[in-house]
Amino acid sequence: MPTKSVKLSANQIEALYKRLQPHAKKESQPQYTLWQIRTDSINVCAYQSGKVVISGQDIDWLVEDLEALATQSALFQPTKQPTKKMTSISFQDNQVASLAHTFPQAGSDEVGNGDYLGPFVVASVIIENEEMAKKLIEMKVTDSKAMTDKMILKVAPELMDLIPYSVQVLTPIHYNKIYDPKYHHLNYIKAMMHNQAYLNLEQKGYALPQLKIVDQFCSPKRYFELLYDISQIVRPIHFETKAESKYISVACASVIARYHFLQYWDKMEEKYEIKFSKGGGAQATKCAQEFVDHYGYNRLYEIAKLHFVNTQRLKHDQDE
């Protein structure tokens, strides 16, 4: 079984834990480690020394991501309170400049995969030319994780008036119907929805450009393998990690996807009269417990992604 290791800082290890924990199938803490998480396809063990060991059949995408970011000051940018550095797209970086300045370009991105509660959303967009890209940057469009929800609610409707886009909102009910730990796991759902996002643009009458970018969540080979039961597969696709901070099209897709996630979230809170917490931590579990107390465990599938470990932490009567 392929195994690789990388040295990370304490903050980077904590960020990695937050990234992996929502997808954990098993979590433990062997001797001399901070934590060990096993997902559908990989096993990650973080040691007290700062060494992180990754093993599994499909680890290249994560190893490449971590190795590329290990020399930076932080593994992930904060999801709240964006800094001044994060107010504009960084796609002028020399390493990606040639592709980032290629137009027309299409990009897709997803939100909600790390949230225990709420939907999973994928959006795709087309940026026709450099003039439009400059206009979007002037609007301070960037990766949605670097923007406050208030900013997104203001900017996204303007974006949707300017550029071709498509959005798919997979509700918790439908997510739970599709999800299967063996065949239809999270990466399958991601691949399926990214592919469909581009097909939807075509169905709207837009010609897809040669450059179509997906923020890489697995190896390119694995991505197309996951689409084994899909009749129409969009090719070619350019895969790149942290694409939302390098390509204006992916950044726009992330903002539009986040906007629709927030719209659904507001309706969910209004319907159930509960103030829900985003993310996959203890507060989300607490909100789910409140929902179970009010509506019963047998309705949890209406608001939550049931395969998250949060579900196992809930107190409920199975016979309810």
Q: Give the residue extent of every domain in the chain.
A: 3-69, 89-267
The pLDDT value given to residue 320: 43
Q: Residue 23 is encoded by which pair of tokens? A: 């997808």
Angle (CA) 305-308-310 rounded to 5° is: 105
Provide the pLDDT for residue 75. Answer: 31
pLDDT digit string (tens) for 233-283? 999 999 998 898 889 999 999 999 999 999 999 999 999 999 999 998 899
In this structure, how many other beta carbons lie within 10 angstroms of the beta carbon of residue 60? 18
Mean pLDDT for the stretch of residues 219-226 = 92
Out of 13-27, 78-92, 146-160, the most confident range is 146-160
Question: Is the predicted pLDDT of residue 80 greater than 50, yes or no?
Answer: no
- Lowest-confidence region among 14-23, 99-108, 168-177, 303-312: 14-23
> What confidence score (pLDDT) does residue 91 get?
40
Q: What is the per-residue pLDDT for 79?
A: 34
Is the pLDDT assigned to residue 76 strictly greater than 60?
no
Q: Give which of 58, 116, 108 is closest to 309, Cα–Cα.
A: 116
Q: Is the pLDDT of residue 129 over 80?
A: yes
Interval 149-163 mean pLDDT: 95
Query: Tokens 């709207």 — which residue?
Result: 204
Q: Is residue 29 over pLDDT 50?
A: yes
Q: Degrees (nearest 5) of the Cα angle 214, 220, 225?
A: 115
Plot region of 4 (φ>0 → left; ψ -120 to 50 → alpha; else → beta): beta
User: What φ, ψ does residue 122 adopt, rounded to 5°?
Assistant: -125, 135
Question: How does residue 8 score in pLDDT terms, banded at 50, 70 and 90?
Answer: confident
| pLDDT tier, 318 (very low <50, low <70, confident <90, very high otherwise) | very low
> CA 290, CA 283: separation in Å to the nearest integer?
11
pLDDT at 254: 95
* pLDDT, greater one: 183 or 267: 267
Helices (H), the chain: 10-20, 60-69, 97-100, 130-138, 149-162, 172-178, 186-203, 220-226, 248-272, 282-295
- With 70 as the cut, is the pLDDT of residue 51 above it? yes
- Tell me how crowded residue 21 is: count the other CB atoms within 10 A of its CB: 19
77 has a pLDDT exceeding 70: no
- Tell me which CATH code domain 3-69 carries: 3.30.310.10
Judge whether 126 and 201 are in contact, CB under 8 Å. Answer: yes
Give the predicted TM-score (pTM) of the model. Answer: 0.71
Mean pLDDT over all residues of the chain? 85
Q: Which residue is it, tokens 């967009």?
A: 125
More confidently predicted of 320 and 48: 48
Topology of domain 89-267, CATH:
Nucleotidyltransferase; domain 5 (3.30.420)
Exposed/middle/buried for 133, CB within 10 Å: 0-12, 13-18, 19+?
buried
Cα–Cα distance for residue pair 250/238, rounded to 1 Å = 12
- Give the mean pLDDT of 287-314: 95
Q: Is the pLDDT of residue 64 over 70?
A: no
As a whole number of angstroms, the distance between CA 175 and CA 186 comes to 10
